[in-house]
Chains A and B, each alone.
Chain A
Amino acid sequence: MSAIPGFLKGNFRSNESRTCDTTGLPVCNTASLFIQLHAVFAVVFLLVGAVAAILLALTRWPAVHLLPADWFYRVLTLHGVNMLLFWIIFLEVAIVYFASTSLLNSRLFSKGLAWAGFLLMVIGAVLVDYIILIGGADVLFTSYYPLPGHPFFYLGLILFAVGALLAMINFLLTLHIAKRDKTYEGSVPLVVFGATAAVIIAVLTIATGAAILIPTLLWAAGIVDIIDAGIYRVVWWGMGHVSQQINVTAMVSVWYFMFSLTTGAKPLNHAVCRGAFVLYILFINLASAHHLLVDPGVSTAWSIWNTSYAMYLAVLASMIHGFTVPAALEIAMRKKGYRQGVFGWLTNAPWGNPGFSSIFMSLVIFGFIGGITGVTIGTEQINIIVHNTLKLPAHFHGTVVGGTTLAFTGLAYYVVPLIFRREYYMKGLAKIQPYIFVVGILIVILGMQFAGSTGVPRRHWDVSFAGSPIPIPKMESGWLALVGVGGVIAFTGLLIFILLTVATVFFGRSNKGKPMESWGDVKDVSASAGAWTKEDEHKTPGTWALVSILLVSFVVYYFSNWKALADVWWVR
């Protein structure tokens, strides 16, 4: 790690920091406390979301159909808010606190602000989960007006959001004092820049959320009579989808960080990578418009501008990261001597290191599944045949679960030994855990994708429509069995991660005063691989091959969806 050139003098007060025994980075003790607190609660809410997930998978599996209807929608609400908000944002706060202190050689701006933010997030999240579980808010993650939730449901969400906002302000002010105190030279490291982009998107998310959740709280409390449903949808998605862009941006930062940590990879070009993050800041949030492509209240011009012309600049950013991240890895591995063929650098990568394997698989799943499906179903014409089908959850389980959650669990395999300073239990099991989880989630996504293609709706308890007063054509539900089977496997993988992590955090063997035990380093065999020239710094044939496969896959998927659209009957 060489994030801080020359290790300038930090701005720590006495006894406020330590030096990491593994990376040599400074660790602000206050930041370390809050990284630990937020990480622990992130995993607690991950467990809640995971239990909800397996209950849902076993309900959508027609042969099992576990939950009754009311509990299905209750648990679906619980799953959505815990996985999409609580688990991920708690961990993101831990990430931005780490980035702004250890990578900038700075103390955390305010302990009081950190406590206030943390407590509000915990109180808000617990309140929301309690209200959901007592049946006070069976309104799903979107809580579309006029579905009524208990006022405390909206209050809990607002408290959580305010807490997260305080954490984001603490991050920005930490950046400010680090710059003021000259704790680093030049521009901030790329990981910090990526975290800054995530924080900026988070501030927009929370501001937009306040603009819609506060009126909704007043309506639920009986103070306001009515909210316009069209306005609700426009503004709510300004929060709902944007919150997921925080995840994307933080996840990309984690990719850069973890490849650096596990293989020594360095960004190929800081300016290009930073430019891609700026494109995220400016344009990725417009993707919210995808959710309104069948809404009658907005014009075609608004839809096409926000989902195509401007949005594709954010897609360009993802494609830049999709090239530079594996290219940085390829260069690092080739430099270490793994130069055989096109993919020798990849086959010799540390696949037994869960920190590496999670991140690489996150990169592949996010690009090949989340990215390709997202751009395709976000096309206005194609959206009409997939809107509100299971193809939508197939897409975001590729981004949020196979992408972000997988990347964050990979990060944990380093956070726990480095910040909690404890060694993982059962390392053999930990090494195969990411693979179990990935097999499961890929089967879930496959099942959702094909079930959605046959018209199976999302958010639906019973696709057989048993007892319907009007005849409903029977839906093809065979693919839903895959959702159930994959759900069981993915849940097993996630449960292994949670149990190992919790056991390690509380009872693991301490590694204080010594470096963390390696998950499996990449051996440097460059001595036998020949000279490394300046030209080699830019040779990435393996990445070109991967990117070409991605583009061909995109073309095939994109045009197969246009073919499916062409097969739809004419509406005259």
Chain B
Amino acid sequence: MGNENDHWLKKLMDNPWLLLVLGIVVPTLSYTVWGLVEVMSLPPATLP
């Protein structure tokens, strides 16, 4: 199956579990966590 001499990109693409981790971590940090931090950092509006 795998080979020690394989390029690291090939090793990455042959490892679905590592791809799964990256596929969850990258969008979660870039979109969800960053977005939530921004929304939760908003000061409450002052009502008239």
Chain A residues in the interface with B (C-beta under 8 A): 172, 175, 179, 182, 185-188, 193, 196-197, 200-201, 203-204, 207-208, 228, 230-231, 234-235, 238, 242, 271, 274-275, 278, 281-283, 285-286, 288-289, 292, 297-299, 302, 305-306, 310
Looking at the complex, which one of B13, B26, B39 makes contact with A274 (CB distance below 8 Å)? B13
The 4 A-B residue pairs with the shortest CB-CB distance, nearest first, are A285-B27, A200-B23, A281-B23, A234-B35
A310 to B24, CA, bound (A): 15
Q: Which residues of A sit under 8 angstroms from B26, Cβ to Cβ?
A: 282-283
Closest residue of A by beta carbon distance from B17: A172
Are A306 and B30 interface neighbours, CB within 8 A? yes
List 28 A-B pairs, Cβ < 8 Å. Answer: A179-B1, A187-B13, A188-B14, A200-B19, A201-B23, A204-B24, A204-B28, A208-B28, A230-B42, A231-B36, A234-B35, A234-B36, A234-B39, A238-B32, A242-B27, A271-B9, A271-B10, A275-B9, A281-B23, A282-B26, A282-B27, A286-B27, A288-B31, A292-B35, A297-B38, A298-B35, A302-B34, A302-B38
Residue interface bits B1-45, CB-to-A below 8 A is 1, else 0:
100000001101110110110111011101110111011101000
Closest residue of B by beta carbon distance from A238: B32
Not counting A175-B16, A203-B23, A235-B32, a sample of 11 additional A-B residue pairs whose C-beta atoms are within 8 angstroms of each other reads A172-B16, A193-B13, A196-B16, A200-B16, A200-B19, A234-B31, A278-B13, A282-B23, A282-B26, A282-B27, A286-B30
Looking at the complex, which one of B14, B17, B20, B30 makes contact with A305 (CB distance below 8 Å)? B30
Q: Which residues of B sit under 8 angstroms from A286, Cβ to Cβ?
A: 27, 30-31
Closest residue of B by beta carbon distance from A274: B13
CB contact under 8 A between A207 and B24, given known A187-B10, A238-B31, A286-B31: yes
Q: Tell me the minimal C-beta distance from A210 to chain B in angstroms.
A: 13
Total residues of chain B contacting the partner, CB 8 A = 26
Are B19 and A278 interface neighbours, CB within 8 A? yes
Q: How many A-B residue pairs have CB under 8 A?
A: 94
The interface centre, meaning the residue of B17, B23, B26 with most chain A CB atoms within 10 A of its CB, is: B23
Q: Which residues of B sit under 8 angstroms from A297, Cβ to Cβ?
A: 38-39, 42
A473 to B20, CA, bound (A): 51
Q: Which residues of B sit under 8 angstroms from A278, Cβ to Cβ?
A: 12-13, 19
Q: Which residues of A sit under 8 angstroms from B10, Cβ to Cβ?
A: 187, 271
Are A231 and B31 interface neighbours, CB within 8 A? no
A274 to B10, CA, bound (A): 9
The interface centre, meaning the residue of A200, A207, A228 with most chain B CB atoms within 10 A of its CB, is: A200
Are A235 and B36 interface neighbours, CB within 8 A? yes
Closest residue of B by beta carbon distance from A277: B13
A182 to B19, CA, bound (A): 20
Q: Tell me the minimal C-beta distance from B37 to chain A in angstroms.
A: 9
Looking at the complex, which one of B24, B31, B39 makes contact with A230 (CB distance below 8 Å)? B39
Q: Which residues of B sit under 8 angstroms from A283, Cβ to Cβ?
A: 26-27
Are A187 and B31 interface neighbours, CB within 8 A? no
A238 to B27, CA, bound (A): 9
Q: Which residues of A sit under 8 angstroms from B23, Cβ to Cβ?
A: 197, 200-201, 203-204, 281-282, 285
Are B24 and A306 interface neighbours, CB within 8 A? no
Are A187 and B14 interface neighbours, CB within 8 A? yes
Closest residue of B by beta carbon distance from A305: B30
Q: Tell me the minimal C-beta distance from A309 to chain B in angstroms.
A: 10
Looking at the complex, which one of A172, A185, A228 makes contact with B39 (CB distance below 8 Å)? A228
Looking at the complex, which one of B1, B9, B28, B35 makes contact with A302 (CB distance below 8 Å)? B35
The interface centre, meaning the residue of B17, B31, B42 with most chain A CB atoms within 10 A of its CB, is: B31
Are A299 and B19 interface neighbours, CB within 8 A? no
Are A204 and B36 interface neighbours, CB within 8 A? no
Q: Which residues of B sit under 8 angstroms from A203, Cβ to Cβ?
A: 20, 23-24
The interface centre, meaning the residue of B14, B22, B30 with most chain A CB atoms within 10 A of its CB, is: B30
Are A298 and B20 interface neighbours, CB within 8 A? no
